[in-house]
């Protein structure tokens, strides 16, 4: 008689279990336990989802009075009601541009290499281990890397370029992993067909594999950027200022060549930094500003994630091999 | 559909020998150009792949380089055993233990939240929930992990701490308990998602064997699936631990930034990460000992994550079930 199979439900002894009556009672109890667990699982799951809603509603409620046009067009200020997020959202936007421009091509290229080209040797193994490893490195350590390397060795200073590069390294593993998954899901028959017609490996990749994996790559890019947009620790470490009353140089010029890169070297602040600055002030009036900034930040993250989920869903539905 | 072909994919299409009729269509010169272009592109792609390797090397190099300057001033013994951490004071002490204690305490609180919640959700989603529920809930749950950590910090400071103070009136405004609870919440999706993957990898016939013996779903889940997926669960918990250890903004906002050698979560304390933030907020000159101290702290942080990962690696290996 295997006692284990009947559960540790505290049956008085093996003898009761042997009787049909005892077995029936044991079974009933075990079935009740099943129902109880389903209930617990549902409650825990809903509680976690509720917290997300509570978080968002709470931020919006606390910051409601600050959602005015002025909040978006004013610089930070010593007076809570006059302070705005102009420098912060401009800074965040520019940093995201740098991050995307650096992380996406490198990440996609690395993923293509690992999936389509890499031979099975020690170098490939090292690259793979490093990608996995980087995904687990605490974000603040990327900040330290950037402080030692970008800010002082490369002499980028506490600039938008340094921040963008730091976040690019941080989201590189996310882009690589997402792109690899997308590439892996393209059936081999498609590659074989292209090879069969005499295409080279790059032609196969560029003309067939990449177009089919666009959805997955886009998803990875958006998820990566949504992670980068909320990252605070690494850019505090490289020395983002929290009080900035000017904008970086405009990337657009009225005369030829109409575009300038002077902003790359400008000091900056960003949305999460601004929010952190407001949260850590003892003055209650600033908490409303922090809540408003947080609501915007959270809203942007949720929208980006939503878009990523939607793209994944769309592409999955559209392609049927 | 064409699984038999998969073994041939991954190796180049082989030496190209022109069939006689093709020669007029594909000139040898054009082919040579295309092959050369392929070679160049392959090299570029490899370089992109190596960026990850260089990043790791650079992290190690920067941390070691700056910490070595730090350890010229501070003995390693004092660093490892001292219970006072006041590098920015006139009377400077460099004992890392208070920061390590703070980090371990918040991590432990976080795990006490994340492991039961995450595992319960994973068991529910993997063994009980209908397909539709699982597909809907999983992405939403993952949003919990996508919330910016500074927002969680605000949540811990302005909602969780006041709520806890209703239960514990003597709780200070900054404390590790609320920070740890919120971090735990934050890592629930990581734990649940990885655990669920591990449980779903347990083959169906093991469950069916269990059902055939008269076990209910819950018994099957707890006695067959969970032990079978243990190595995956361990990996999920380890990932959760490394997240919690490296989490910065929640503790910086909600736990206060005073180094405090205690394991009592009700007290305010600084973690390694919070200390790095605190120093970065000030304007320490490049090359000063305070500046170097954050790299030494970062090195300890890296070593801690490394230790957990190595432990996790061996745990996973030890309990791996091959199907």
Please give the full DSSP string across B217-248, using - where no structure is assigned.
HHHHIIIIIHHHTHHHHHHHHHHHHHHHHH--
Give the A window 53-82 contacts with B, CB below 8 Å.
54-55, 58-59, 62
* Residue A259, beta-bridge partner list: A252
ipTM exceeds 0.90 = no
Bigger pLDDT: B101 vs A320: B101
Bigger pLDDT: A268 vs A148: A148
Q: How confident is the model at residue A91 (pLDDT cuts 50, 70, 90)?
A: confident
- Closest CA–CA distance from residue A52 to any residue of chain B (Å): 6
- Residue boundaries of the structural domains of chain B: 27-73, 97-318
- Asked if the model's pLDDT at residue A309 lies above 90, the reply is no
Per-residue burial over B139-173, b = 16 or more CB atoms within 10 Å of its CB, e = otherwise: bbbbbbbbbbbbbbbbbbbbbbbeebeeeeeebee
Residue A73 tokens, joined: 């067009």
CB A140 within 8 A of CB B103: no
B153 and chain A in contact, CB less than 8 A = yes
Bigger pLDDT: A195 vs B8: A195
- Asked if the model's pLDDT at residue A317 lies above 80, the reply is no
Return the closest-CA partner of residue A96 out of A290, A292, A320, A268: A268
- Asked if the model's pLDDT at residue A8 lies above 50, the reply is no
Minimum-distance CB partner of A232 among B56, B215, B249: B249
Q: How confident is the model at residue B289 (pLDDT cuts 50, 70, 90)?
A: confident
Return the closest-CA partner of residue A142 out of A231, A60, A208: A231
pTM attached to this predicted model = 0.83
User: Could you report the per-residue pLDDT of B130-152, keeping only the tens digit for each?
Assistant: 888 888 888 888 888 888 999 99
Q: How confident is the model at residue A215 (pLDDT cuts 50, 70, 90)?
A: confident
- Asked if the model's pLDDT at residue A18 lies above 70, the reply is no
The whole-number pLDDT of residue A167 equals 93
Cβ–Cβ below 8 Å for A301 and B142? no
Q: How confident is the model at residue B119 (pLDDT cuts 50, 70, 90)?
A: very high
The lowest-confidence range among A92-101, A281-290, B118-127 is A281-290
Domains present along chain A, CATH in parentheses: 3-63 (no CATH), 67-318 (1.10.3720.10)
- Asked if the model's pLDDT at residue B6 lies above 50, the reply is no
Residue B35 tokens, joined: 């092959």
Share of chain A above pLDDT 90, in %: 13
The whole-number pLDDT of residue B28 equals 77
The lowest-confidence range among A208-222, B10-24, B157-171 is B10-24
Measured CA to CA, the distance from residue A97 to residue A156 in angstroms comes to 17
Measured CA to CA, the distance from residue B94 to residue B80 in angstroms comes to 9
- pLDDT mean over A204-233: 89
The lowest-confidence range among A224-238, B85-99, B115-129 is B85-99
Query: Count of residues for chain A?
Result: 321
CB neighbours of A106 closer than 8 A, spacing ≥ 6?
Answer: A168, A172, A175, B48, B51
Residue B64 tokens, joined: 């070691």
- pLDDT mean over B155-173: 85
Cβ–Cβ below 8 Å for A201 and B16? no
Residue A252 tokens, joined: 């657009």
Cβ–Cβ below 8 Å for B38 and A142? no
Cβ–Cβ below 8 Å for A110 and B48? yes
Residue B322 is classified by DSSP as -
Measured CA to CA, the distance from residue B321 to residue A142 in angstroms comes to 35
Q: What is the mean pLDDT of chain B?
A: 83
B101 and chain A in contact, CB less than 8 A = no
Cβ–Cβ below 8 Å for B309 and A136? yes
User: Could you report the per-residue pLDDT of A31-77, keeping only the tens digit for each?
Assistant: 888 889 989 988 988 888 888 888 888 888 887 777 777 777 777 77
Q: How confident is the model at residue A175 (pLDDT cuts 50, 70, 90)?
A: very high
- Within 8 A of B268 by CB-CB distance, chain A residues are none
Q: How confident is the model at residue B7 (pLDDT cuts 50, 70, 90)?
A: very low
Minimum-distance CB partner of B45 among A7, A109, A200: A109
Measured CA to CA, the distance from residue B46 to residue A118 in angstroms comes to 8
Per-residue burial over B216-252, b = 16 or more CB atoms within 10 Å of its CB, e = otherwise: bbbbbbbbbbbebbbbbbbbbbbbbbbbbbbbbbbbb
Bigger pLDDT: A283 vs A293: A293
* Residue B85, beta-bridge partner list: B94
* Burial class of residue B84 in the structure, from the number of CB atoms within 10 Å of its CB (0-12 exposed, 13-18 middle, 19+ buried): middle
Number of helices (H) and strands (E) in chain A: give both, helices first.
Answer: 13, 0
A8 and chain B in contact, CB less than 8 A = no
Minimum-distance CB partner of B213 among A5, A176, A279: A5
Measured CA to CA, the distance from residue A291 to residue A297 in angstroms comes to 10
Measured CA to CA, the distance from residue A95 to residue A267 in angstroms comes to 11
- Residue found by looking up tokens 């070679």 in the block: B39
Share of chain B above pLDDT 90, in %: 21
Judged by DSSP in three states, B85 sits in: strand
- Asked if the model's pLDDT at residue A13 lies above 60, the reply is no
The whole-number pLDDT of residue B4 equals 40
Judged by DSSP in three states, B302 sits in: helix
Residue A157 tokens, joined: 């200073």
The whole-number pLDDT of residue A111 equals 93
The dihedral built from the CA positions of residue B56, B60, B61 and B63, taken in this order, carries a sign that is positive
Q: What is the mean pLDDT of chain A?
A: 82
Helix, strand, coil percent content, chain B, rounded in steps of 5: 75, 0, 25
The whole-number pLDDT of residue A28 equals 86
The whole-number pLDDT of residue A5 equals 45
Residue A252 is classified by DSSP as B
Give the A window 112-151 contacts with B, CB below 8 Å.
112-114, 117-118, 126-127, 130-131, 133-134, 136-145, 147-149
- Asked if the model's pLDDT at residue A143 lies above 80, the reply is yes
Residue A291 tokens, joined: 């809540």
Cβ–Cβ below 8 Å for B248 and A139? yes
Measured CA to CA, the distance from residue A262 to residue A250 in angstroms comes to 8
CB neighbours of A37 closer than 8 A, spacing ≥ 6?
Answer: B123, B124, B128, B218, B221
Task: Give the other-Cβ count within 10 Å of B136's Cβ.
Answer: 12
Measured CA to CA, the distance from residue B195 to residue B206 in angstroms comes to 18
- pLDDT mean over B314-318: 77
Measured CA to CA, the distance from residue A273 to residue B280 in angstroms comes to 12
Please give the radius of gyration of chain B, using alpha carbons only, rounded to the nearest integer: 26
Q: How confident is the model at residue A169 (pLDDT cuts 50, 70, 90)?
A: very high
User: Could you report the per-residue pLDDT of B232-275, keeping only the tens digit for each?
Assistant: 888 889 888 988 998 888 888 888 888 888 788 888 888 889 88
Structure-derived torsion over alpha carbons of residues A227, A233, A239, A240, reported in degrees to the nearest 10: 50
CB B299 within 8 A of CB B139: no
Q: How confident is the model at residue A259 (pLDDT cuts 50, 70, 90)?
A: low
Q: How confident is the model at residue B106 (pLDDT cuts 50, 70, 90)?
A: very high
Cβ–Cβ below 8 Å for A140 and B217? no
- Asked if the model's pLDDT at residue B226 lies above 80, the reply is yes
Q: Does domain B97-318 have CATH number 3.30.70.1400?
A: no
B305 and chain A in contact, CB less than 8 A = yes
- Asked if the model's pLDDT at residue A269 lies above 70, the reply is yes
The whole-number pLDDT of residue B15 equals 53
The whole-number pLDDT of residue B108 equals 94
Pairs of residues, one from chain A and one from chain B, whose beta carbons lie less than 8 Å apart: 276
């Amino acid at each position: 008689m295997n006692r284990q199979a009947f559960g540790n439900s505290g049956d008085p002894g093996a003898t009761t279990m042997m009787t049909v009556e005892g077995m029936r009672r044991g079974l009933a109890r075990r079935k009740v336990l099943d129902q109880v667990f389903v209930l617990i699982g549902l409650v825990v799951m809903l509680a976690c989802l509720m917290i997300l809603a509570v978080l968002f509603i709470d931020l919006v409620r606390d910051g409601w009075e600050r959602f005015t046009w002025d909040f978006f067009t004013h610089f930070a200020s010593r007076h809570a009601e006059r302070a705005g997020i102009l420098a912060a959202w401009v800074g965040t936007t520019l940093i995201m541009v740098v991050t995307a421009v650096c992380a996406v091509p490198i990440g996609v290229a690395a993923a293509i290499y690992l999936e389509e080209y890499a031979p099975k040797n020690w170098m490939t193994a090292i690259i793979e281990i490093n990608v996995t490893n980087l995904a687990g490195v605490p974000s603040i350590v990327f900040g330290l890397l950037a402080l030692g390397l970008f800010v002082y060795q490369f002499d980028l200073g506490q600039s938008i370029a340094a921040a963008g590069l730091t976040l690019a390294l941080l989201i590189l593993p996310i882009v690589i992993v997402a792109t690899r998954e997308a590439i892996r899901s393209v059936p081999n028959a498609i590659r074989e067909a292209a090879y069969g017609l005499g295409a080279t490996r790059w032609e196969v990749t560029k003309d067939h594999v990449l177009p089919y994996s666009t959805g997955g790559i886009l998803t990875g890019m958006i998820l990566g950027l949504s992670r980068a947009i909320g990252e605070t620790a690494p850019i505090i470490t490289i020395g983002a200022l929290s009080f900035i009353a000017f904008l970086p140089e405009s990337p657009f010029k009225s005369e030829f060549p109409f575009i300038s890169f002077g902003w790359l070297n400008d000091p900056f602040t960003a949305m999460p930094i601004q929010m952190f600055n407001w949260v850590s002030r003892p003055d209650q009036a600033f908490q409303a500003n922090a809540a408003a900034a947080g609501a915007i930040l959270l809203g942007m993250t949720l929208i980006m994630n939503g878009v990523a989920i939607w793209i994944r869903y769309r592409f999955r539905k559209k392609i049927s091999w | 559909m064409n699984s038999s072909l998969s073994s041939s994919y991954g190796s180049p299409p082989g030496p190209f020998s022109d069939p006689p009729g093709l020669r007029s269509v594909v000139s040898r010169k054009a082919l040579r150009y295309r092959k050369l272009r392929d070679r160049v592109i392959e090299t570029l792609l490899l370089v992109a792949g190596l960026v990850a390797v260089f990043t790791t090397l650079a992290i190690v190099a920067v941390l070691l380089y700056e910490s070595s300057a730090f350890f010229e001033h501070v003995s390693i013994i004092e660093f490892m055993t001292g219970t006072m951490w006041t590098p920015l004071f006139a009377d400077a002490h460099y004992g890392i233990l208070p920061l390590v204690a703070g980090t371990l305490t918040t991590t432990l609180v976080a795990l006490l939240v994340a492991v039961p919640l995450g595992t319960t959700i994973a068991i529910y989603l993997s063994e009980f929930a209908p397909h539709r529920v699982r597909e809907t809930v999983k992405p939403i749950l993952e949003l919990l992990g996508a919330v910016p950590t500074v927002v969680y910090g605000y949540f811990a400071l302005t909602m969780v701490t006041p709520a806890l103070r209703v239960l514990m009136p003597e709780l200070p405004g900054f404390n590790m308990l609320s920070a740890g609870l919120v971090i735990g919440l934050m890592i629930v999706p990581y734990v649940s998602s990885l655990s669920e993957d591990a449980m779903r990898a347990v083959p169906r016939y093991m469950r069916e064997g269990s059902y055939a013996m008269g076990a209910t779903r819950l018994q099957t889940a707890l006695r067959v699936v969970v032990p079978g997926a243990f190595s995956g669960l361990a990996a999920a918990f380890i990932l959760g631990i490394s997240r919690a250890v490296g989490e910065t903004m929640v503790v910086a906002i909600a736990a206060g930034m005073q180094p405090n050698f205690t394991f009592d979560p009700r007290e305010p304390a600084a973690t390694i990460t919070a200390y790095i933030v605190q120093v970065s907020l000030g304007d320490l000159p490049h090359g000063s000992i305070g500046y170097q101290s954050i790299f030494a702290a970062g090195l300890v942080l890296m070593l801690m994550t490394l230790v957990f990962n190595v432990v996790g690696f061996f745990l996973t290996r030890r309990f791996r079930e091959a199907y």
